[in-house]
Amino acid sequence: MAVLEVVTYPDDRLRRKCRPIVEVDDKLRTLASDMLETMYADDGVGLAAPQVGLDIRMVVIDIPAEDGTQGHNPVVLINPEIVAREGEVPSTEGCLSVPEYTAEIKRAEKVTVKALDQNGQMQTYAADGLFAICLQHELDHLDGKLFIDYLSALKRNMLHKRYLKLKKEQQHAAAR
């Protein structure tokens, strides 16, 4: 397994609409393992393919156990689709692709998602709590959408300027 490079905002690869996966094969399963490894390395609970630079519809999720340990219940979702939503809850979110930033947005409280698993079998997930939030966040990535898109224009502008400045500083540091 390998830890992959995580693409960060404002990289254009986070803004693409990803294409459906046609074949679930060993290559895809290896990629799913690598994505899980990458997610665990960064203490994330979910990771979508565009976050490692790929425009395909695959997401991995592992909600930590109550004692905070991870790596127990990895879920691989291929071509996932939300088929039902219910309720509304406030959700404080962050993203491995938007480092060092969290904000409160609104999400559906419960969702039902259909997806293929790593064996190509169709599964249905009736989710609530953190799993439901995470599913909505990760599936948004597959359509080029980030959680910060739900913020006011003012907040998004401030955030954008902050990241552009950060990028400039990094480029300066690299040029030296």
Residues that bind Zn ion in the complex, under the rule CB under 5 A: 95
One of 23, 100, 138, 169 is an active-site residue; which one? 138
Least distance to Zn ion, CB of residue 126, Å: 22
Nearer to Zn ion, 24 or 61 (CB): 61
Least distance to Zn ion, CB of residue 124, Å: 23
Burial class (CB in 10 A: 0-12, 13-18, 19+), 164: exposed
From residue 108, alpha-carbon distances to 60, 94, 157 in Å are 20, 17, 25
Q: Assign residue 43 a region: left if phi > 0, alpha if psi is -120 to 50, beta otherwise?
A: left
Q: For residue 93, list its beta bridge partners.
A: 103
5 noted as active-site residue: no
Tell me if 172 sits within 8 A of 165, measured CB to CB.
Answer: no
Task: Count how many Cα atoms sit within 13 Å of the Cα of residue 85 in the half-sphere of its side chain.
Answer: 12
Nearer to Zn ion, 78 or 95 (CB): 95
- Among 95, 91, 39, smallest CA distance to 63 is for 39
Least distance to Zn ion, CB of residue 75, Å: 16
Nearer to Zn ion, 123 or 144 (CB): 144
Identity of residue 66: E
Work out the end-to-end distance of the chain between its first and last CA atoms, rounded to an integer number of angstroms: 34
Identity of residue 9: Y
Nearer to Zn ion, 95 or 111 (CB): 95
Least distance to Zn ion, CB of residue 135, Å: 12
Catalytic residue set = 138
